[in-house]
Amino acid sequence: MLHVHTRIQRELDRLRTEIEVDFVAIALTDPTEHVIRFRFVSGNRNDRYKRIVLRPGKGLAGTVIRMGRPLLMQFTEPKSLDDPREYSILLAEGLKSLVGVPMEADGGCVPSMMLVGCRSYREFSNEDVARILAKANELRAWIHRHDFPVYSKEKGHEGVNP
């Protein structure tokens, strides 16, 4: 049986190819440090994503986790007055269009999210979003079944999408 990291990586690679996007990532909440990090990626140009550390509720990943619903940015380019920390993954990977979907855990909390993006402008269809949500839910089950250290209701997490 394949190691769960390898299986998740293959599924991200497959999704990236099937829906013809440039980048797919999963961000997880780290319960020990109270931050959000991109743990699994496919199609990355560099390793800058590894240095992105977000506070709960901040950045695109934090926003999706906090809202608990999909976020579409279909023709986006950060403006000079925007806080670059809010768009760090867009800047690091050169993304112009993206879909972020929550990966809801048991009990309704959202400890993780999936981000799918393109380096060119693209309008995502409802079918695209549905496929991304379905894959996110499938991978969420794998992540939580294998006890990855994500979200808990420990001190400091009460305000993150309770």
**pLDDT tens by residue, 33-77:** 889 999 999 999 999 999 999 988 888 899 998 888 999 998 776
- Whether the pLDDT of residue 25 is over 60: the answer is yes
pLDDT bin (cut points 50, 70, 90) of residue 152 is very low
Would you list the domain boundaries of the chain?
Answer: 4-145
Q: What is the average pLDDT score of the chain?
A: 83
- Whether the pLDDT of residue 126 is over 80: the answer is yes
Q: At what angle do helices 4-18 and 126-145 cross, to 10 degrees?
A: 180
CATH of segment(s) 4-145: 3.30.450.40
From the list 9, 32, 21, the residue with the least C-alpha distance to 115 is 21
Position 157 scores a pLDDT of 39
pLDDT bin (cut points 50, 70, 90) of residue 81 is low
Q: Which of 12-26, 59-73, 94-108 has the lowest mean pLDDT?
A: 94-108
* C-alpha neighbours within 13 Å on the C-beta side of residue 84: 6
Rounded Cα–Cα distance for residues 53 and 38 (Å) = 8
Position 153 scores a pLDDT of 36
